[in-house]
Amino acid sequence: VTLTATTTDGDGDSVQATLNIGSNLVFKDDGPSITATGEEPTLTVDETVLATDATQNFAANFSSAFGADGPGTLTYALGVVAGASGLTDTATGEAVNLS
């Protein structure tokens, strides 16, 4: 990136000078940020009433700032690590494995 300055005198003579400013040109985009906050709520599944879904709101556990560009989107995704969960099926006594 270059910057060229031109100066012209009263009778039309002109001269130019050019600087390479590429290495001095910096764009500072503050970008979004997100942090986990607070204590996570407990989600309890009661298997005696399977027709009733267990729900909980975890949105308050995240604090986000969109920066100077303003808000865009905020999405959540639930993920699990496959393998032993450390939980036991109370009906069978078997270990609960996630996959």
Per-residue DSSP letters for the chain?
Answer: -EEEEEEE-TTS-EEEEEEE-GGG--------EEEE-SPPPP----TTSTTS------GGGEEEE--TT------------SEEEEEE-TTT-PEEEE-
Residue 46 CB-half CA count within 13 A: 7
Q: What is the pLDDT of residue 95?
A: 94
12 pLDDT band (50/70/90 cuts)? Answer: very high
Predicted confidence (pLDDT) per residue in 46-99, tens digit? 878 778 888 888 888 999 999 988 999 999 888 888 999 999 998 899 999 998
pTM of the predicted model as reported, rounded to 2 decimal places: 0.51
